[in-house]
Structure 1
Amino acid sequence: MTVPIDRIRNFSIIAHIDHGKSTLADRLIQRTGGLSDREMSAQVLDNMDIEKERGITIKAQTVRLDYTARDGQDYVLNLMDTPGHVDFAYEVSRSLAACEGALLVVDAAQGVEAQTLANVYQSIEHDHEIVPVINKIDLPAAEPEKVKLEIEDIIGLPADDAVLASAKSGIGIDEILEAIVTRIPPPKGDASAPLKAMLVDSWYDPYLGVVILIRVVEGTIRKGQQIRFMQADTVHLVDRVGCFRPKIEQLGEMGPGEIGFITAQIKEVSQTAVGDTITDAKRPTAEPLPGFKEVQPVVFCGLFPVDAADFEKLRESLYKLRLNDASFSFEAESSAALGFGFRCGFLGLLHLEIIQERLTREYDLDLITTAPSVVYRLSLSHSKNEDAKVIELHNPADMPDPNRIEMIEEPWIEATIYVPDEYLGSLLKLCQDR
């Protein structure tokens, strides 16, 4: 049985690190009966040890909650728990594109911080209905009225009807659920149209193969259906359709507006690009969903085993990690000083740290990491043996003959710096000096 579309609410939670996003998700799951008190653990949706220890979310997770509102109607709430860190900005943008609204969680003591802004602007670009939630109001240093003013001044969102809550103490949870139902609009979509679904995320499960998180936009997806990935141009047979409550529950089919997962006997995460459009192989949709882009690594470094005998073990471990993280790339390289190792590409420095820590912990490897660097692009002039060409330089050891180099280009970024007024002067000086 598919859910009536006007009773579905899809939302994500936007917050700066440590403003209480995972704790709020826990309370919502508990309040709607997703898990009993006995099954509950802290940060239910963060299932990696590193996520729990650092208090960060690395993988997007979803959970489907059943809620009976004060008007007596039953609703299905799909919560998308998104990573907050800028390294995972593209994943966040796809998770937000799968929702119609967002809870903007701001710490009552800390106020609005950088990531809150970066992600809330993405949310506004997706035309979301944003519900401000001022969390941790039971702290002695809490200043909810000041934070309301900050939300209005800095972000430009009206905050007079912001929900005051404390996820830890369970204050304001019912008000948040009511706000989701009354203020976030239901999804739109036609169940009889050709299937069009967005691939929000994917990960490798040793029993099920690749599990693909999807949001159905139009049409219906069901078990036994042949589907096509439009960007990858591959065809697969759906062998399981379901949702997380947060425990896995199998479903017969999913209609427009629903969020859940499918499996289709896919063995590698690299075949399932985040943001791809999934359609019916026999009756495809005309246009793919907008916003897809290939995830490009931007920071590179070398990983070398301390003990040369661990080289094969490192290779296997990298293949296993890549099963779960398609945004990470690697190729073999050798160094005169460090022996054989791998040159790896990451989305940013946090991503590098996480991969390195997972290799050390989960695969018991001792690693030497070279200093992170970026890729330079060299334009070479024509020589006796070779034509003029453009090459990418990863390693200073591969620097060609300086006489042939016409131009060296390095990557630049366009950055926006969010900073409180009192630091503006010293920050401008830092930008000029550096």
Structure 2
Amino acid sequence: MAKIDQTNIRNFCIIAHIDHGKSTLADRILEHTGSVAKRNMQEQLLDDMELERQRGITIKARAVAMTIQHKGTTYELNLIDTPGHVDFQYEVSRSLNCCEGALLLADAFQGVEAQTVATGYAAIEHDLDIIPVVNKIDLKHQRADEVVQEMEQTLGVDAEDVVRVSAKTGINIDGLIDAIVTKIKPPEGDAKAGLQAMIFDSHYDEYRGAITYVRIMNGTVRKGQKVRMVRANTIHEVVEIGQFRPQQTPCDELRAGQVGYLVCNIKSLNDVNIGDTVTLNSEKDIEPLPGYHEPKRMVYCGLYPSDGQDFKELREALEKLAINDPSFEFAPESSEALGFGFRCGFLGMLHMEVVQQRLEQESDVDLVQTAPNVTYEVLTKRGEILHIHRPQEVPDSGDIEEFRQPIVRVNLIQPEEFVGPVMKLCNERRGLLQNTEYLSATRVMLSYDLPLAEVIYDMHDRLKSITRGYGTMDYDMVGYFMADLVRMDILVNGNKVDALSVICHRADADRRGRAVVKKLKEEIDRHMFEVAVQAAIGSRVIARETVKAQRKNVTAKCYGGDISRKRKLLQKQKAGKKRMKSVGSVDIPQKAFMSILSTGE
């Protein structure tokens, strides 16, 4: 293929709220540039992961290179399609680092949503050329003019610059491509300088090892050269080099400004770090590029193989997934109830579900998952600060000086008639109102400071139901603040069940304790002796249920006669049950854990 001049390269990504049509717009651009033959075209072409197609959402950012003739000049367009969900914000931030421009998409009916605002500001911070786009103008009930006003008010874009398109029907895709070519600056960088390439993603191929996705910032890389990963300090030979068009298409070289992939026969998964810099082995004094901020894991839970056997398989599956998704982490842990497993950290609840489903589908592992919890901070009497990832790590209450919980700033956007119910929802969850802003005559943005633990479980679902689907939210971490928190333990027959301990607010402990012991009572089978199921804070029991013993009618053979004989038989039975209780152990079925953990109690 003929070389394309660097001034004719355009790198851009598409950013927007969930379901505003990013992947469909990517389809139309691919079709318009002739990158995909008509017969190979399918909807959401870039969402090629099975889970993405099932759920209809984008989970991984995908890169694709296209060549286009515009006014007699050949241009190369590198498009990165990004996810919209708040949990995958980290994928978006990595994509922004590889681009010079961004298409900021808003739905012509739903307008500016919480995530549109968040990603819009992120793109402005990265100093990208922003092209505001209003999508879905083919809808009967579209209100594009109002949406343009909202974009002007919240994001400060000029109404003249807004491109109106329909990604579904292909209206005005020409105008959009014209805007991309004229308004986005070409990449900077010197093709003759030393090689500096940024790894922005990677995936593992069974036959070829790790395939790394790179954006070349400076220099040129060719097949057969020896390259060095600066941070990992490992040396590899480039076996194949190429671009995604959308399939992997080999080429001879990648120059400054281009986006592509390298295959270097990397067998060890630890050698690839996303955010690392690739340079030529012969060039020793190349500075590493500033990488990415380490993502902050917000939600932790334990993952255990369901039959306690496939521990090794689970570890291999997690390692493979970690190379493709660096925003989740894992460390081995063990639990008396569930055996050996891993403590995993995620960016949010959807991220946790997606990782769990990918493990089950791609690696065929059966999993049990413990109740998710967020990270807390504890200041001890000795002045140490502990980071608590699991309830078992909480020290005794006598050693705690301050118990701190993570607080997030939540931006909620909804039509004005739902402001009352939304404020009520936030107040129930101990939120503090920070700001109220009218985006237009009918839409309001509320800003609240809320405990993260109250946000991650079902806040999004509750918001959707009370606003009839029109409310959207987005959150950012503020910091750790002191709160009245306690660790609640569940005791069965006097023994703690470590997998069921939770950290919660003191005011909620009674309600949650009662709910869990009730559920456990239904799930634990009756034994020969009675079993006490208790919820306790420290040594104080706050809720109790009793699983009655199985009893044999020992007085059946006495008819009539002296009452003392019956009493003697009952006393004898009671003593036997007591002796049994002291030596017997209670068998809690796996089903009981599953039912409690699945209700989110």
Q: 2:313, 2:258 → 1: CA distance?
A: 41
Other structure's SS at 1:148 match: helix
Contact 1:298-1:348 within 8 A present in 2 as well = yes
Distance 1:226 1:418, change over 3 A: farther
Q: TM-score, normalised by structure 1?
A: 0.90
Which stretches in structure 1 are left out of the alignment for 5+ residues? 383-387
Q: Secondary structure at the match of 2:166?
A: coil
Structure 1 residues 72, 329: closer, same or farther in 2, change over 3 A?
Answer: same
Q: List per-residue Cα deviations over 1:15-67 (Å, max 9, x = no partner).
A: 11111111111111111111101111211111112112222211121111111
Matching residue of 1:55: 56
Q: Secondary structure at the match of 2:227?
A: strand
**Equivalence for 1:396:** 391
Deviations, residues 88-147 of structure 1 (Å, cap 9, x unaligned) = 323312211211111112111111111111111111112211112211111111111111
Who is 2:165 aligned against? 165
Q: CA deviation at 1:289?
A: 2.5
Determine the structure 2 residue equivalent to 1:385.
none
| Aligned ranges 1:32-43 → 2 under 5 Å | 32-43=33-44
TM superposition score normalised by structure 2: 0.66
Residue 149 of structure 2 aligns to a residue whose secondary structure is helix
Q: Is the 8 A contact 2:18 2:83 kept in 1?
A: no
Residue 57 of structure 2 aligns with an amino acid whose one-letter code is I
Q: What is the CA-CA distance between 1:80 and the residue it aligns to? A: 0.8
Q: Which structure: larger Rg?
A: 2
Answering whether residue 197 of structure 2 is matched by residue 203 of structure 1, we say no
**Distance in 1 separating the partners of 2:327 and 2:274:** 9
Q: State the 1:416 CA deviation.
A: 4.9
Compare the two structures and name the one with the higher strand fraction. 2
Q: Distance in 2 between matches of 1:323 and 1:273?
A: 8
Which secondary structure does the structure 2 equivalent of 1:194 belong to? coil
**Does the Cα contact within 8 Å between 1:2 and 1:254 map onto a contact in 2?**
no
- Residue 90 of structure 2 contacts residue 327 of structure 2 at CA under 8 Å; is this kept in 1? no
Q: Distance in 1 between matches of 2:220 and 2:361?
A: 41
Distance 2:306 2:195 in 1: 51
Report Cα offsets for 1:205-263 as digits up to 9, x if no partner. Answer: 12221111111111111222232333333333322211011122111111111111112
CA distance in 2, matches of 1:134, 1:390: 48
Where relative contact order (Cα < 8 A, 6+ residues apart) is larger, the structure is 1
Identity %: 50
Give the counterpart letter for 2:391 in structure 1: P
Aligned Cα root-mean-square deviation (Å): 2.4
* Cα separation, partners in 2 of 1:342 and 1:276, compared to 1, 3 Å: same
What does residue range 33-432 of structure 1 map to in structure 2 within 5 Å?
A: 33-69=34-70, 71-284=71-284, 286-380=286-380, 390-413=385-408, 415-420=409-414, 422=416, 427=422, 430-432=425-427
Superposed displacement of residue 148, structure 1: 1.1
For residues 393 and 296 of structure 1, the distance between their equivalents in structure 2, rounded to whole angstroms, comes to: 14
Q: CA deviation at 1:406?
A: 4.2
Distance 1:37 1:334 in 2: 53
What's the offset of the Cα at 1:11? Answer: 0.7
* 1:301-347 deviations in Å (ceiling 9; x for gaps): 01233333444443443333334333322233232333333221112
Distance 1:316 1:290, change over 3 A: closer
Count of aligned pairs between the two proteins: 427
| Structure 2 unaligned regions, length at least 5 | 431-601
What letter corresponds to residue 46 of structure 1 in structure 2? Answer: D
Following superposition, the deviation at residue 177 of structure 1 comes to: 1.2
- 1:17 maps to a residue whose letter is I
Map of 1:2-41 to 2, 5 A cutoff? Answer: 2-41=3-42
SS of structure 1 residue aligned to 2:141: coil
Alignment correspondent of 2:487? none
Q: How far apart are the structure 2 equivalents of 1:47 and 1:247?
A: 11
SS in structure 2 at match of 1:273: coil
Q: Is the 8 A contact 1:223 1:240 kept in 2?
A: yes
* Alpha-carbon spacing, 1:307–1:298, altered in 2? closer, same or farther (3 Å): same
> What is the distance in 1 between the residues matched to 2:127 and 2:136?
27
Does the Cα contact within 8 Å between 1:2 and 1:255 map onto a contact in 2?
A: no
Distance 1:338 1:428, change over 3 A: same
- Is this contact kept in 2: 1:203–1:269, CA < 8 A? no
Letter in 2 for 1:191: A
AA at the equivalent of 1:44: L
